[in-house]
Amino acid sequence: MEHSGPAPSRRTLLRGTALAVVPAALLTGPPAAAAKPAAVDHPGAEWVPASTSNYTVANRPAQYPVEYVVIHVTQEYFADTLAIFQNPAKQVTAHYVVRSADGHIAQCVREKDVAWHAGNWDYNTRSIGIEHEGWVDKPQYFTNAMFEASAALTASVCDRYGIPKDREHILGHVEVPGTDHTDPGALWDWTKYIRLVNLA
C-alpha cells in the first residue's frame, strides 16, 4: 500500500518496536488494534468513510437545521458509488448508500456534516442524502429489501430531527430547486415508500 504521508523516521520505527515488547498491562490505554471504528448514526450501518474532500465538516443540527431527506438513485453499482465518494477528485457524496440486493446500508458521511449530494448548497445544509443502488430506468433494482431498509433509515432520520414523514419533507433529488438530475425517477414507488416510512 502506498504511504500518503512522510516516511516514518528510523527513530519512530524503533520506538514502535520497543513498545511491542512491553506487556499490555503496563500500557496506559488500549492498543491501536483494539480501537473501535467510527460510530455510525444509524444502527446496523457499515461505516465506509468518504474522502474529506467531498463534504463539509459541520455541527448539525446546531449549525444548520436538518429538515429534509433527499432520495437519490446512484446510476452506479453499490461498490462503485462508495469508490466515487472516496475519490477526492469527485467532489460528491451522500450520507448513506443502500444496496439493492439485500438493503445493506453504508454510511459515508456523519449526519452532523454536510454531504454534497443535492446540487444546491441550501438544501445540502438542511438535508440527509440517501443514495440507492440502481438506475432510474431499471425498476428491478428497487427491491423490497432496499425499500424496507431505506424506509427504516429515513424513519429514524425523521425521528432524530423531528422531520414530518411526508412528501413535503422526503424529497426526490429531482425536486431540489436548481438540480439537473431526474432521480429517483418515475419508476420509484413513492406511495409504497412513504407508507413504509410511516410503518417503520
Q: What percent of the chain has pLDDT over 90?
A: 80
The answer, yes or no, to whether residue 11 has pLDDT greater than 60, is no
Averaged pLDDT for residues 173-187? 95
**Tens digit of each residue's pLDDT (9 = 90 or more) over 18-39:** 333 333 333 333 333 333 456 8
In a domain, 140, yes or no: yes
Max CA distance (Å), the chain: 63
The answer, yes or no, to whether residue 49 has pLDDT greater than 90, is yes
In a domain, 131, yes or no: yes
In a domain, 187, yes or no: yes
In a domain, 101, yes or no: yes
The contacts of residue 78 (CB under 8 Å, 6+ apart) are 97, 99, 100, 104, 106, 133
In a domain, 168, yes or no: yes
Q: Of 6-10, 136-140, 178-182, where does mean pLDDT reach its minimum?
A: 6-10
**Tens digit of each residue's pLDDT (9 = 90 or more) over 93-124:** 999 999 999 999 999 999 999 999 999 999 99
In a domain, 194, yes or no: yes
The pLDDT score that the predictor gives to residue 38 is 61
The more confident residue out of 20 and 56 is: 56
The pLDDT score that the predictor gives to residue 39 is 83
In a domain, 11, yes or no: no
How would you classify the pairing of strands 105-107 and 96-98? antiparallel
Q: Give me the number of domains the chain comprises.
A: 1
The pLDDT score that the predictor gives to residue 9 is 34
What pTM does this model have?
0.81
Domain of residue 168: give its range.
46-199
Name the DSSP class of 26.
G
In a domain, 37, yes or no: no
* Number of other residues whose CB lies within 10 A of the CB of residue 148: 17
Task: Give the domain CATH number at 90.
Answer: 3.40.80.10
